[in-house]
Structure 1
Amino acid sequence: MVSFSVFAQQGKQNKADTLFNKFSFVKASKVYQELIQNNYNKDYATRKIADCYALLRDPKNANRYYKSVVKQKNVPIEYYYKFAQSLRGVKKYEESEVWLQRYIDSGGAPGDNDFTKNVNFISSVFGAKQQYFLDKVRFNSKYSDFGAFEHDGQVYFASSRDQGVATKKLYGWNEQPFLDVYVAKAGTRKNVDHSAKVPGDINSVYHDGPVTITKDGKTMYFSRNNFTDGVEVKDNKGMTNMKIYRAHLVDNVWTNIEDLSINGDDFSTQHAALNSDDTKLYFSSDRPGTHGGSDIWVANINPDGSISDVENMGAIINTKNAEGFPFINNEGVLFFSSDGHVGLGLMDIFATIKGDDNNSIVDIINLGIPINSSTDDFAFTMNPNGITGYFASNRRGGRGSDDIYAFHRKPILHVEGLVTDAINMTPITDAKVTLYDNNDKEIAFMLTDENGFYQINIDRNQNYKIVASQEKYIEDYRDFTSKNIQTELTTITANLLLNPISDVVKLAELNDIYFDYDSHDIREDAALELDKIVDLMLNDYPEMIIKIESHTDSRGTLSYNDKLSIDRANSTYEYLINNGIDPSRITAHEGFGERKLTNGCEADTDCEEADHQLNRRTHFIVVQME
């Protein structure tokens, strides 16, 4: 019963860690709470539940658990930092500074953005584990630039930079030129002027852009004012709404413009995005059924190009305020902008979190700094490599009203592997796998699943040791490093082999059998012993696995004795198989010649026949009992 209870708790921890790694923090926190109540791996569970509440933007509960965490023996110093953040989240600023100083005194190095800016609690947490890093974009203008989307080495973006044109049509709202769609080579350092406008019929005299393009590069979806065939259409309030149009690439020119069925004259439809196989169209709209200012919607793109089954993405994503600029990465994660969810400032960029079925959306997460700021941050896109991409912001320090920012990200890294029996190469379930830093301080541990598999999140640019142990085995370890690895790499593999400990190898006292001189025939006395082994394996221990080792005495040549011992091993093996033992339950049958004598009867030694007899034997080793 005790063993069953421990197994149940181990399963709960694995479940909680899986939920945490999928960003399902609400469910994970409940399971960690059960582990705490059952006093199983309590220190670890307390740290994880504190992290859950931090990521759920609940500084009160996060602070309550971090307060217990920092009292733990040998707690990682990063929790001093997290506790300091949580204290700030509940407005205990002086105490927060004390713990921040303790973190620094313990060797921690906070970044520039920590407590010097007016940011909310959750973004401070993200800043501690920064994944996104900004890169320069050289082609911004003094006007509005946003909606960068990279395809086949080219960056398409919307801009009001209509420079080099003698007559400019201005947008009355901000007295800037209307938006047009431009294209530039990715990474260009050159200025982009009117000559870089997308060729064809995309750009009109009103707003055009941003765009998205199908994977084959032949179809473009783009936003435009309700303007077709030279006619601008207004709604009953005198406003010109937005529509999504579709264009096709013909002789390197974008033409054959289509007005899509999802559009309407009395509401806006814009910000097109496509899923990985171009079968779904995501967009923002204030059409009937919208929760607030504008919502994220999705529709099916049918093989004939028609669009159907328009569906609101639901209340987890959409609020009573405005949501827009959807984007879907190759893993099916939806990114969008919103000023209705808790964020750093005006409009922030968020990502969705999927449930256990990998289809339903269960929560959203703020991307934190430096992607988000205290101003508007929007139009997030990610390149197919999953590492680089773009977004737009009107934050201070930019060149124009809205600027395009490039980013690269360092995705979460983990070590994973299999723990395997070194003799029969079967997976070892419930082996304890412990991760240590380069000072041999324990960081985390977990138990392997039924496949002998483990996975633990780690930091980059660190040295580690991973140790696997199980009560029936000799522990194994590996040193490894996450230094100087490619950014795209998300997994370091560290497989471990465990050898059974000596008192486990011989779990059953199986008698040796003996052979006549220069013979490999099974004698009558040997057959009796083999029959006992057959009965033991068939009736008493139906899961038992053995291996066979056969030997000779020292008389004869070394090569001859090697062959003779192999013949004895084969004879023994065949006897057991012929009497009903499954071959898979005998991992090996090997001969060792005269190399493993049980006594001192070597070739140049005068020994009695009885002493030589002790060396002419087959020995049985129990590899596994159950």
Structure 2
Amino acid sequence: MDAQERKVEKATENYEQLDYVNAQKIYLAVAEKGHESEELFTKLANSYYFNAQYDDAVKWYERLFDFTATPEDNNVYLRYSQSLKATGEAAKATEYYDAFLLNSDLQNTTIKAQDYLDIIQQNSGRYDIEVLKNVYDEKQISFGHLRLGDTLYYASTNSSKTFLNRRSAWDGLSFLSLYTIQVDSLNQTISKPKKLKGKLKSKFHESSPVFTADHNTMYFTRSNITYDDKNEDQRLKIYKAELKNNKWQKAEELSINSDYFSNAHPTLSSDNTKLYFSSDRPGGYGESDIYVSEIDSDGHLSTPVNLGPSINTSGKETFPFITADNALYFSSDGHMGMGGLDVFYIEILEDGYGHLLNIGAPVNSYADDFAFGIDLETRRGFISSNRSKTEGEFVYDNIYSFLETSPIKDVYFAQIEGVVTDKQTGEPIAEAQIVLSDVEGNIFKEVQTNEKGYYIVDINKFDSYLIKASKPQYDTDENMSKSGLERQSINFQLQQNEISLVPGTDLAEVLNIPIIYFDFDKSNIRKDAQVELEKVYAVLNFYPDLKIDIRSHTDSRGNDSYNKALSQRRATSTLNYLVDKGIDASRLSAQGMGETQHVNNCSNGVPCSKGEHQKNRRSEFIVKE
């Protein structure tokens, strides 16, 4: 190692002992001395906001809005609003949130009923549907979808006794019993209905069977009333039966049942480790919700878990069906539909759910449409409905077969992409954290930028999101996406806020001082430049051994020698300002660089825009060796 290298290494060690320059610390020192600027107050307020120090954030946002009634960054309206809300000032928070929406042109982000109908229309027309012959009877109830091999299992009132239907209302029909019927490859019936054999016959409703993969265990729904009890407030329970010697044995009720609420319409995950069902148990979101219980190796069930508000509503969610690829179909009258119960589709993901989709007409109709099931290989299935040939005419539930002719379209799918770069250098920032949340602060998704500073994230097309970009040693930034766009780009330029005091470091980068402004052809310090120099002065005060070299640059317009002399006068004027404030002159040096070190190609004779020339007119405060 030569002498020069040792000198640089020694200097680096010395300056690293001075720790880091923290921008918030410097900005606070300048502001507390009474200096004012929009940038100063915005930086301070944002720094507290992004660190959840809302009392301090409110203080500095107030100073900002006192300083200027119309800040350049519209996002401060939203941040001020959220800070006010966090500190209990709800009315004022609403005022600034409304101002944010107005200035962002985001006033109308709610999907209207007609928009929903247009969305439903996009997934309509994908099914060929027809009644199931030998089962269809407008005077009897039949529903179900489960096909094993060439056998369809379903529930029906196809008998002479007269009691209750699936809605628990007295109507003169018999109890539901489990039936089978043979069907061909096109789901056309090729036999007459038969009652399911075994010890399942009872004085109760039985419906909604589902089988384990080996076909030896059946879960099904049974009503919890006696034969003579015509109480309309009946409860339903889920039972389990075993197949022995080709006959179903006496059923046992599941541990999750109760005499005080209903469990009904079970379905199994493809690996038979989860039981999904509908229940009106306490603690749900509405009339009935969909739940799931884990099934252990011994067949024991865990405590049921509600599938949450992405699926369940204040209305009725029922008749779940899980596909082999882990998608959930269910019926609901709580989500926007075409009338009565509609069938909905949603993907079950490792970290939540996909977008909820109405599967459209003709499977869905003005009537109740439920008990949906589909074979993913043949794309054929069954749906039950009480629709009639003439709308408004009353008929009982009946089974229809269908063919799905095209896959469902995720009409809510959209994407946001962008690049995160360093504001000073323009270089991409890898591994920056991108967090999407709603305006209430609930996190939607989190991703990171790649080595090129690029990110992309899937979103709901009709929602708006707060998108926050952060990286250690950089100011956090936040922006708002727009709803209704299939693809949009939102880029971030992050300002470095903490920098090590090593030789060659430019304090202007971390303190956001691109230029010290002077009047045309002048070198006296303007009032607006004083706020910027106060930042440098604060650093020099915090670190009394620090020495810096002040460098002033011009653009290429004007005579070279004149620009050199002008920049030297300006650098010297900057030095004198700091000396007059009490900084020892031995700690400072001043260089006028003129137009010798441009950051772009705007040299003599090259046509450039005003903005491009502006980039070359800059001030630097370089930590000296």
TM-score scaled to structure 2, two decimals?
0.43
TM-score scaled to structure 1, two decimals?
0.43
